[in-house]
Amino acid sequence: MNRLPPLRLLHVFETVHSAGSAKRAAGELNVSLSAVSQALRQLEEHIGTSLFDRSTRPAGLNEAGEILLKAVIENRERLAEALSEIQALTTQSGTSVTVACTVGFATYWLMPRLEAFYLDHPDIAVNVQTTPQEVPHMPPGTDIAMRFGDGRWNDGDMQHLFDEIIEPVCAPVLAERLRKEDRNLASAQLIHVEFPDPNWVTWSDYFVQTGQKPAGTSKGLKFSNYVQAAQAALSGHGIMLGWRSTNGDHVQKGLLVPIGLPVMRPKSRFYITLSHRSRNVETAQVVIDWMRMTADTETPEPV
């Protein structure tokens, strides 16, 4: 078969899968159930094989259907990426810069400092894109990525921002309560942030690198978002690994306190990556220079 099926048939096919049934797909597409069934039959006739296992209710995809679905999704994503690239080519440059970073970095380091940037540069808008990765990707339209790692990336110009410092911290109320109960601070419940990113530092990494032993309550609380974990620590629910980049302000303000366990200095560092595809290089460099100046003026050691 050399001729591709009509896009409308592929759209119906994907909608049936995502909706979970032909009936629900008909509702989403605002067409009759018979129209959906007819589109699926036309698609199967075009391809020359069945795409569904109709022995189940609702019918599920068979092996051929799974292959086709994967191709449809991959090509839709590629098309969306191409449209983003085209949009980036036609976007006016010079007045805005887009920065990609983690939710924690954006919430606790970048956003609180942007007010000072705008006082000096009211004509530049900084757009912030948050990602779950410690090494954010830079799709078309993204000028800068804040990354934690070894600095070995080839999609942009790398500039060192600061070294990271990590140490266990908790809310003062928890520290005081544990002292009154004459309990070891390290025996309190631990707060975990579970990222699939290999650059992320976990409690296991901390224990190995500092020679400490996990307490009996090391299972603790688990979060997939650093901001949620920080809120749990601020509320006194346990001890978390405080990163200077995200919890430094909390420690300086006394909202979180170090618990007296060793400080960890990971080999990975924070870098600013200026994308090779940026169309706002001069404006992006203004933002980068401000970030580096801000980082250089702040105390690198934990309080």
pLDDT digits (tens, 9 = 90+) for 228-282: 999 999 999 999 999 988 888 899 899 999 988 899 999 889 999 999 988 889 9
Q: Parallel, antiparallel, or unpaired: how do β-strands 125-131 and 60-61 relate? A: unpaired
- Better pLDDT: 135 or 102: 102
Angle between helical axes of 22-29 and 33-47 (0-180°, round to 10): 110
Residue-averaged pLDDT of the chain: 85
Asked whether 271 and 158 are in contact (CB, 8 A), the reply is yes
Find which of 138-142, 159-163, 296-300 is predicted with most confidence, using mean pLDDT: 159-163
**7-19: burial string, b at 16+ Cβ within 10 Å, e else:** eebbebbbbbbeb
Pick the closest to residue 132 from 100, 163, 108, 162 (CA basis): 100
Q: Parallel, antiparallel, or unpaired: how do β-strands 52-53 and 240-243 relate? A: unpaired
Residue 168 CA to residue 240 CA, distance in Å, equals 6
Residues 6+ apart with CB under 8 A from 10: 43, 72
Asked whether 250 and 168 are in contact (CB, 8 A), the reply is no
Pick the closest to residue 143 from 293, 289, 281, 295 (CA basis): 281
Tokens representing 187? 């025996």
**Interval 123-138: pLDDT, tens:** 899 999 887 766 778 8
Min mean pLDDT across 145-154, 210-219, 225-234 is at 210-219
Pick the closest to residue 302 from 240, 255, 251, 238 (CA basis): 251
Angle between helical axes of 111-120 and 281-297 (0-180°, round to 10): 120
Residue 303 is predicted with a pLDDT of 40
The predicted model gives 139-149 an average pLDDT of 88
Q: What is the 3-state secondary structure (H, E, C) of the chain?
A: CCCCCCHHHHHHHHHHHHHCCHHHHHHHHCCCHHHHHHHHHHHHHHHCCCCEECCCCCCEECHHHHHHHHHHHHHHHHHHHHHHHHHHHHCCCCCEEEEEEEHHHHHHHHHHHHHHHHHHCCCCEEEEEEECCCCCCCCCCCCEEEEEECCCCCCEEEEEEEECCEEEEECHHHHHHHHHCCCCHHHCCEEEECCCCCCCCCHHHHHHHHCCCCCCCCCCEEECCHHHHHHHHHCCCCEEEEEHHHHHHHHHCCCCEECCCCCECCCCEEEEEEECCCCCHHHHHHHHHHHHHHHHHCCCCCC
Residue 263 CA to residue 207 CA, distance in Å, equals 11
Angle between helical axes of 22-29 and 7-19 (0-180°, round to 10): 120
**Interval 3-27: pLDDT, tens:** 788 888 898 998 888 888 888 888 8
Question: pLDDT band for position 2 (50/70/90)?
Answer: low
Residue 204 CA to residue 200 CA, distance in Å, equals 11
